[in-house]
Amino acid sequence: MIWWILGAVLLALVALVIHDRLQTRRAILRNFPIIGHLRYLLEGMGPELRQYILTSNDEERPFSRDERRWIYSSAKGENNTFGFGSDNNMEHTAGYLVVRHSAFPLDPLPGEPRDATPGFSVPCAKVLGEAHGRSRAFRPPSIVNVSAMSFGALSGNAIEAIDLGAAEALSLHNTGEGGVSPHHLLGADLVMQIGTAYFGCRDDSGRFSMERLVDAVAEAPVRALEVKLSQGAKPGLGGLLPGAKVTSVVAAARGITPGVDCKSPSAHREFSDVDSLIEFVERLAERTGLPVGIKSAVGDPVFFTDLAERMRVTGGGPDFVTVDGGEGGTGAAPLVFADHVSLPFLRGFPEVYRAFAREGLADDIVFVGSGRLGLPHRGLAAMALGCDLLAVARETMLTVGCIQAQRCHTGNCPTGVATQRPSRERGLVVSDKAPKVARYIATLRQDLLRLARACGEPHPGFVHSGQVAVLSDPRTTIDLTTLAGYDAPTWGRPGEDQRAALAACWSPMGVQPTGPGHDAGSDAG
R_g over Cα of the chain: 23
How far apart (Å, rounded) are the C-alpha atoms in residues 75 and 116? 11
CATH number at residue 183: 3.20.20.70
Contact 216, 192 (CB under 8 A): yes
Domain boundary among 54, 75, 97: 54
Domain match, 25 and 152 both:
no
How far apart (Å, rounded) are the C-alpha atoms in residues 510 and 189? 14
| Interhelix angle 376-385/345-358, nearest 10 degrees | 20
User: Would you say residue 187 lies in a domain?
Assistant: yes
Domain match, 176 and 324 both:
yes
Q: What domain count does the chain have?
A: 3
User: Would you say residue 466 lies in a domain?
Assistant: no
How far apart (Å, rounded) are the C-alpha atoms in residues 361 and 38? 55
Closest CA to 186 of 455, 430, 483, 500: 430
What pTM, to 2 d.p., does this model score? 0.85
User: Would you say residue 72 lies in a domain?
Assistant: no
Domain boundary among 372, 400, 428: 400
Quickly list H helices, 265-334: 274-288, 301-314
Contact 179, 199 (CB under 8 A): yes
Domain boundary among 363, 380, 400: 400
Q: Which long-range contacts (CB under 8 A, 24 or more apart) does 477-484 make?
A: 477/98, 479/100, 480/346, 480/381, 480/384, 480/385, 483/346, 483/350, 484/350, 484/353, 484/354, 484/385
Domain match, 15 and 163 both:
no
User: Would you say residue 29 lies in a domain?
Assistant: yes
Domain match, 209 and 347 both:
yes
User: Would you say residue 108 lies in a domain?
Assistant: no
User: Would you say residue 372 lies in a domain?
Assistant: yes
How far apart (Å, rounded) are the C-alpha atoms in residues 276 and 270? 8
Helix (H) or strand (E) holding 410: none
Domain match, 274 and 388 both:
yes
Contacts of 429 (CB under 8 A, 6+ apart): 24, 25, 27, 30, 157
Domain match, 395 and 513 both:
no
User: Would you say residue 100 lies in a domain?
Assistant: no
Domain match, 182 and 33 both:
no
pLDDT at 376: 94
Exposure b/e, 495-505, CB count within 10 A at least 16 = b: eeebbebbebb
Closest CA to 380 of 434, 311, 312, 452: 452
Domain match, 394 and 501 both:
no
Cα–Cα distances (Å) from 37 to 20, 34, 400, 477, in that order, read: 10, 6, 19, 45
How far apart (Å, rounded) are the C-alpha atoms in residues 140 and 439? 18
How far apart (Å, rounded) are the C-alpha atoms in residues 162 and 436? 9
pLDDT at 230: 86
Q: What is the dihedral of CA 342, 202, 194, 160, to 10 degrees?
A: -110
pLDDT at 92: 63
Domain match, 500 and 371 both:
no
How far apart (Å, rounded) are the C-alpha atoms in residues 435 and 414? 21
Domain match, 49 and 172 both:
no
pLDDT in tens, the chain (525 residues): 787 787 777 777 777 778 778 788 777 778 878 777 777 666 665 654 554 455 566 666 677 788 888 898 888 888 888 777 676 767 767 788 999 999 999 888 777 777 888 888 889 989 999 999 999 999 999 999 999 999 988 999 999 999 999 999 999 999 999 899 999 999 999 999 999 999 999 998 889 999 999 999 999 999 999 999 987 556 666 677 777 778 888 888 887 888 887 778 888 999 999 999 999 999 999 999 999 999 999 988 899 999 999 999 999 999 999 999 877 666 666 667 666 777 889 999 999 999 999 999 998 999 999 989 999 999 999 999 999 999 999 999 999 988 887 877 777 888 889 888 888 888 899 999 999 999 999 999 999 999 999 999 888 988 989 999 998 877 788 889 988 888 765 444 555 555 555 554 454 433 333 332 333 333 433
Range of the domain at 50: 1-54
